[in-house]
Each structure stands twice: as C-alpha cells, then as structure tokens.
Amino acid sequence: MKTILDFSKKELEGMVKPSFRAKQIYEWIYKKGAVEFTQMSNLPAAMRAELTKNYTIDSVREVKCEISRDGSKKYLFALHDGKTVESVLLPMKEELSDENGELKRHARYTICVSSQVGCKMGCAFCFTAKGGFVRNLSAGEIVGQILYIKRANEIPYERRVNVVYMGMGEPLDNFENVKKAVEILKENDGLAIGARRQTISTSGLASQIKKLGEYDLGVLLAISLHAVNDELRDKLMPVNKAYNIAAVMEAIREFPIDQRKRIMFEYLVLGGVNDHESDAKTLVKLLNGIKAKVNLILFNPHEGSEFKRPAMSDVEKFRDFLRSKGVTCTIRESKGLDISAACGQLREKVKYDNA
C-alpha cells in the first residue's frame, strides 16, 4: 500500500476534493503527529475511510535502535517490502538554562537519512557497499525517517532540525526522489525544514551536481572527497573513474550557494593513507578560489576493513596546516563509537543476528 508521505501538498490538492483538505491532511500528519487517518477529526468520515483504504501514513517501521553514551541514536528501519535502511539522530547542542532555570537555548539536532537500500558506489572504506545496491527509496520513505525520529524523540513541531542526506546510498543517484523529499520537507504546512537546513552529500557525480545546481533548491552541498589525487581516489572511490577530481571541482565551481554559506568537503582521514602533509598541501591548491569548509572525519573502524583510524595528532596537524592557509577546517566530533556507528553496520549486524 502506498504511503501518503510520497505526495507533495500540490499533488495532494489534485487528489482530494475540495483541495483545501490537502492542507488539513498535511497539518494532521506533520504538525499534529497523526499516525492514523481516523484521527483527522475535521475530515469527513467518508474521506477518512477512503484514505485508510488506499494509503498508509508511516513509511518506515523501527526494527532496532541503538543509543550511544553521547546521546546519538542509530535506527534500523524496515520498509514496506521488508528491506532495511539506517538513520541517525545526532544531538548537536544540549538544552541550556540559566541559573534561574530559564531556558536560554533549545536542544539542537541533526538527522542523517538514507536515500537508497544499499549503494552502487562501492567505496572501499564503506560498510554499506558490502551489501550492494537493492533499490532507491521513494520520497515518502526518505521523509518518513525524519518524521518518525522527530515523533519518537518528542521533538516539538516548531523545533527545526538539520537534515543531511548522508546515510545509506548516493543521494544524487536517486535524484528525483531526493529532490522531491527536499521540497516536501520545505513545505510550510508540513515540517517546514528550510532548504538551508538540508544538506545533500555526494560522492562526486559531477553531472548530477550540475543538474542540482540548475534547480537551485537552496540546499547545501557536501562533497565526499577523501583523496586529493586521482590515483588514490580511484582506489578508494570507483566513481572517480567516471567523474575524476577535475570534473567534480568544475561542477562545484558552478554550483549556486548562499553567500553566507560554504561548500562543504568531507575528508575521511584514513591512518597512513591520506593524512600526510603533502595531501594537505594539494588539498589547499584544489580548493583555491572556492568558498569551502573542510570537515575532517576520523575513520570509524569496522570488522574486515583494511583501513585504520588515524592518530589524532596527525589529524590536528592536517587541520592546522589548512587553517594556516586560510581554509576553514574542523575535525568532526566522532559520535556513536560505542554503537554500530559506521554506515551499514547496524543493518549487517541485525541480518547476522537473525541468520
């Protein structure tokens, strides 16, 4: 049965009569947290019955949730066909009160969502690649991950979250559904998560980066770079053979970005592989003229991997060199190291446990 989450508000307006009912349905689902059409008390009984007959609301079902000491939560979700994907809730800032108990700052969260069951990219360091590619997620299956996590963690409707398309799969390989999910999340009568709170991470599909730029959705762009020369990147990321570093950088330079924002470059630091001073120097040259921010990510080891976690001292030297050359650079705080944090780990763990 199809999920109602697959439809944009405009599409829903064309499906229900009178069309103003679409706004009511959206508000019940996204603002009031309805999980059944029978809860929509201001809809006619016949419409509620028809919706119940033809559609579901939730597009995902929780199979397992692992909670880290740092508050991160890793979810394994089952889809309508039994396939599974992962999502992560990352607490970014804790709620803060003054000495009188008055609230000074709300808690802030980032939700990392999957866009595919498995992945075609075959990156050497990625656990998701182990399971191969199965299928794309629909827009509603992407949106459903965020809706479920907000509801399960009692994050109020008015509390905005940041969304990153950085879970299982290559978002730009599922372009149309990811684009639609962005637009559904932006809808003011829905979750109202603005484009600037949504980041699409890509392994470097240059043609799709250009296509995304032409739509000018207003989303942020993150590039999984991970190497500064084609020889190493070919080995780490097979997609580089189709879209080499030069092609990716060309597409990035044409990408429209809000003047207050930067293109983010994700650089997974692999101990002894891409953490040398020479790599840092080449990276500075690659980023020349680009309003960039580099996130250094320490490799999260998983069973069977040939790579190791780098020494923090080497990562700090890498960061400090970039900063000395005027490149904004941070070391991303590792979260969830005590749970199945690497993308695809929880999915494979549950499959093994149930075997």
State whether 204 and 173 are in the same domain.
yes
pLDDT digits (tens, 9 = 90+) for 48-64: 999 999 999 999 999 99
Query: What is the distance, to the nearest Å, from the Cα of residue 220 to the centroid of all Cα atoms in its chain?
Result: 11
**Tokens standing for 324?**
């000395």
Residue 283: give its domain's CATH number: 3.20.20.70
Residue 320 one-letter amino acid: D
> What does the alpha-carbon distance between residue 242 and residue 234 come to, in Å, rounded to a whole number?
9
State whether 190 and 287 are in the same domain.
yes
pLDDT digits (tens, 9 = 90+) for 236-264: 999 999 999 999 999 999 999 877 789 99
Active site residue 343: yes
Question: Considering the entire predicted model, what is its pTM?
Answer: 0.90
Could you say which of 13, 112, 343, 348 is catalytic?
343
Residue 39: give its domain's CATH number: 1.10.150.530
State whether 176 and 269 are in the same domain.
yes
Residue 31 one-letter amino acid: K
pLDDT attached to residue 355 = 40
> What does the alpha-carbon distance between residue 246 and residue 242 come to, in Å, rounded to a whole number?
11
pLDDT digits (tens, 9 = 90+) for 72-107: 999 999 999 999 999 999 998 766 666 766 656 567
Decide: 270 and 205 in contact? Cβ < 8 Å: no
Mean pLDDT of 102-128: 87
How many residues can be counted in the chain?
Answer: 355
For tokens 């962005």, the residue is 182
Three-class SS string for 294-354?
Answer: EEEEECCCCCCCCCCCCCHHHHHHHHHHHHHCCCEEEECCCCCCCCCCCCCHHHHHHHHHC
What are the CA-CA distances from residue 150 to residues 30, 147, 341 (Å)? Answer: 10, 5, 20
| Known binding residues for S-adenosyl-L-methionine | 169-170, 201, 224-226, 300
State whether 168 and 290 are in the same domain.
yes
Active site residue 141: no
What are the CA-CA distances from residue 140 to residues 6, 56, 117, 179 (Å)? Answer: 4, 11, 14, 12
State whether 176 and 264 are in the same domain.
yes
State whether 86 and 212 are in the same domain.
yes
Q: Which domain, by its residues, includes 139? A: 61-96+105-353
Residue 202 forms beta bridges with which residues? 223
Decide: 60 and 143 in contact? Cβ < 8 Å: no
Q: Is it true that the peptide bond before 18 is cis, omega within 30 degrees of 0?
A: yes
State whether 140 and 28 are in the same domain.
no
In the structure, what pLDDT confidence band is assigned to residue 350 with cuts at 50, 70 and 90?
A: low
Could you say which of 66, 86, 266, 348 is catalytic?
86
Q: For residue 187, which phi and psi values (nearest 5 degrees)?
A: -55, 125
State whether 148 and 128 are in the same domain.
yes
State whether 22 and 135 are in the same domain.
no
**Tokens standing for 148?**
């479920």
State whether 224 and 303 are in the same domain.
yes
State whether 27 and 76 are in the same domain.
no
Domain count, the chain: 2
State whether 164 and 313 are in the same domain.
yes
